[in-house]
Amino acid sequence: MALQEDYQALLSDLIKKQIVMLGPAVALSKARKIASLTVAEDGQVLAIAGDPQAALNELATEYMNLSGQIAQATLQSLLEKYPEIKRDNS
């Protein structure tokens, strides 16, 4: 799988898990605040414009501001599935 596809899959997984935890309205509205992401109604990331790492960091920050440690733990478990992607903690 290409790195861009890995990012799309990771971001989609993260959004879908947040839909389960936060509900679709909140989870999708947070995801759609990230200008570089195109997100379908089911949480699938259809496109990433620009730097996918920046999009991941922005999305993770949005969810962590809302639900803190729960979002952090969710992201960490998902990142284990995508070893090529590193979380930038800057």
Residue 9: inside a domain, yes or no?
yes
Residue 43: inside a domain, yes or no?
yes
Digit-by-digit pLDDT tens for the chain (90 residues) are: 589 999 999 999 999 999 998 889 999 999 999 999 999 999 999 999 999 999 999 999 998 888 777 777 788 888 888 888 876 654
Domain carrying residue 59: 3-79
Burial of 70 (0-12, 13-18, 19+ CB in 10 A): middle
Say how many domains are in the chain: 1
Residue 62: inside a domain, yes or no?
yes
pLDDT reported for residue 90: 43
pTM exceeds cut of 0.85: no
Residue 34: inside a domain, yes or no?
yes
Residue 84: inside a domain, yes or no?
no
Residue 30: inside a domain, yes or no?
yes
Residue 86: inside a domain, yes or no?
no
Please give the sequence-ordered ranges of beta strands (E in DSSP) within the chain, or none if there are none.
37-39, 45-48
Residue 87: inside a domain, yes or no?
no
